[in-house]
Amino acid sequence: MTDFTHLDKDGRVRMVDVGDKAETKRVAVVGGKISMEPDTLDRIMDEKVKKGNVLEAARIAGVMAAKKTSDLIPMCHPLNITHARIDFSFDKENHAIDIEAEVSLTGKTGVEMEALTAVSVAALTIYDMCKSYDKAMRISDIYLKSKSGGKSGTYSAK
C-alpha cells in the first residue's frame, strides 16, 4: 500500500507532508463544458436570465471554490493561491459554454485540485441559475489541460 501517497504503511489515510519540498511557481489550467438547450444558451448570452448575470456569478463562484478546495477535498492542503482566473466561451453550434480556470501560486504543492474545483463549481453555478429553464443541462469534459511546476514538471493534455 505504500505506493499510494495518501496512505501510510498500515493503509490509513493521511495528508502528505510537503514541509521539505521546495517552493516553485505552480500553475494549473483546467477545462470543462456545460451543454444546454439553444434557448437557455441564448438567455445567458443575452443576459436575460431572471436570477441575474449568470457568467459573472459563475466566475465569482469558481474563484471562491478554488480558494476553499481544502475544505471540500479531505487530503488537499490549504493553499495561499495568488491568482485565479475563470473564463467562458460560447459554443453556439453545440449549445454549450466552455469553461476554463487557471490557478497559480508559489508553493510546495500543486493547484490542480483547485483549478478542477473552480471549473466544477462554475458549471454548477450556471446550472443552478438556469435550472428553471433547462433541467437537462449536462456538465462534462472536466479535465486538466496543463500544469507546471513542482517535481513532476510540466504536463500538457494531448
Q: How far is CA 78 from CA 43, 107, 110, 114, 134, in A?
A: 37, 11, 11, 10, 36
Say what angle helices 112-130 and 38-45 make with each other, to 10 degrees: 100
CB 85 within 8 A of CB 66: no
One-letter amino acid at 116 equals L
123 CB burial (10 A radius; 0-12, 13-18, 19+): buried
Residues annotated as part of the active site: 128
